[in-house]
Structure 1
Amino acid sequence: MPVPSPIPRVRACDARRVRDLLRVAVSARARTGGLLPREDELMVGYGVPRAAVRSALELLRAEGLLRPGPAAYRVVARPEYPGRTAVTGTATRLPRWLERTGVAAPDVLADWLGVPVGSPCLRTESVSSTAGGGAVLETHYLAAGAAAPLLALPAAGPFDRQLAEAGLHPVRARTRSGPVPADPDSARLLGVATGSTLLGAERTLTGDDGRVVAVTLLRADPRAPVPAARAHPESSARTASSESASAGVLSGR
């Protein structure tokens, strides 16, 4: 089981990781009106200091999804996923890799990948360009079995190309997407203004045996109009699309 980091400072990537996975939990599982786990439970489950947990919760509160209470944060809305918007990537510029690190899967990530809670997973993060001249912050998670051949390769090319070079060939990509506000750190990485509207996407890549190969979280500035971000208490947040994983509809190609 992961333990809280003894380092008191907040690593921006830790706050983003907790924010992103809690957002997945809120959109897919948590009922409006329910409570998230307490701060100390999140610290242990995600292996981060309290400051990172509080930073992540504040980012979600700023989106209008949570309200702080005396015991824990209450879910007051779910993210809106009004439909899919494509972000076409380009391979003309190599991505800027930010991190490749191992993490122990908290419950929401374990459920998404189909592995036991606490299983070792690989997390990669990079900033890539889009065909429209924008940028996308990509965060990918792979279970240990899929991560092993990938780690034998240098972190040089686009993620999906690396999957192919590692002999990993997902056949289907399931995507949910919707507008999200740019937090200060993501805004800095993407070169946009804090609070501007980005396209957020959650992608699941599966193989021909139905097993999950990798899951991805994207924050993109596609340089194309994106609907204004809204949160709806009654939104089912389950609008999704599925298509061939070779279609190249998301960045990293």
Structure 2
Amino acid sequence: MPVPSPNPRVRAADVRRLRDLLRIAVAGRGRPGDLLPGEDELMVRHGVPRAAVRAALGLLREEGLLRPGPTAHRIVARPHYPGRAAVTGTGTRLPRWLERTGIAAPDVLADWLGVPVGAPCLRTECVSATAGGGAVLETHYVTTTAAARLLAVPGTGPFDRQLCEAGLRPASAGTRSGPVPADPDSAALLGVAAGTPLLGAERTLTGDDGRVLAVSVLRADPAGSVPAARDGAAAAQPDSSARTASSESASAGVLSGR
């Protein structure tokens, strides 16, 4: 029986969040031929309405990563990460903060953060300036302990600066990056046309004790320096072995088998 939507109004932030987490799951553990969970299960795991699930899956279909099936979406390709680059805001202009809210970590995010499934974490989202005069949409997830210190910082500056002001300077950062097409909502936030090739990056910040402080999903238009994204599945690798420099692999629990 279908699960009732917990929120009848679709929020663009929910669609972006689910799209990003499912993309990470496919990149980390998904293999061509594997199935994602069905719509009902994704609604429960991520606490979003069915319309948000369908919108997020649709964005991944447009990237050539998924194909709809009779019961669930099948993975047909994996995201391609040909290199690494830094795309966070430079601090030359104050970021425009879009959201700062607490969420319960679903399996993919819990695995990435190194916390139990359902553990509370802080989600922040902002649009910042890049060094080249472009813009970057930054989504950050912060573990509970680090979030308590971060929220005590009164500043409104860039996320990385706030971490340092909170005494949370990372000991290491692992990043993977590659070209991704701008979905209509992200394009509007960044001031570019839908379909514009963006530089997508996923980053893990780790403290001195080896524990993850925060993980980030970044979508940047760094003033035209992004390589042209290819259409459809050609923009992905059918069996890419790309991995992050640290523990950004997604939880195997997001996949429901063949």
Aligned mates of 2:242, 2:52 — CA distance in 1: 26
The 1:234/1:6 distance shift into structure 2, 3 A limit, reads closer
Q: Give structure 2 stretches of 5+ with no counterpart.
A: 230-234, 248-258
Greater relative CO, 1 or 2 (CA 8 Å, sep 6+): 2
RMSD: 1.7
The 1:83/1:165 distance shift into structure 2, 3 A limit, reads same
Aligned residues: percent identity? Answer: 78
Contact 2:101 2:122 in 1 (8 A): yes
> Equivalent residue for 1:209?
209
Aligned mates of 2:68, 2:171 — CA distance in 1: 41
Out of 242, 249, 256, which is 1:237 matched to?
242
Q: Tell me whether 1:106 sits opposite 2:111 in the alignment.
A: no
> Equivalent residue for 1:245?
none
Contact 1:204 1:216 in 2 (8 A): yes
Aligned mates of 2:154, 2:35 — CA distance in 1: 41
Letter aligned with residue 69 of structure 1: G
The 1:240/1:178 distance shift into structure 2, 3 A limit, reads farther
Letter aligned with residue 143 of structure 1: T
TM-score normalized by structure 1?
0.91
Letter aligned with residue 154 of structure 2: P
TM-score normalized by structure 2?
0.89
Three-state SS of the structure 2 residue aligned to 1:54 is helix
Shift of 1:197: 0.2
> Equivalent residue for 1:249?
none
> Equivalent residue for 1:162?
162
Shift of 1:5: 5.1
Q: Residue deviations 1:7-40, cap 9 Å, x none? A: 2121000000000000000001111110001111
Shift of 1:153: 2.5
Shift of 1:54: 0.6
Contact 1:84 1:240 in 2 (8 A): no
Residue range with higher mean Cα deviation, 228-237 or 121-130: 228-237
User: Pairwise mapping of residues 57-136 of structure 1 onto structure 2 (< 5 A)?
Assistant: 57-87=57-87, 89-136=89-136
Shift of 1:234: 2.1
The 1:87/1:7 distance shift into structure 2, 3 A limit, reads closer
Matched residues, number: 240
Shift of 1:151: 1.4
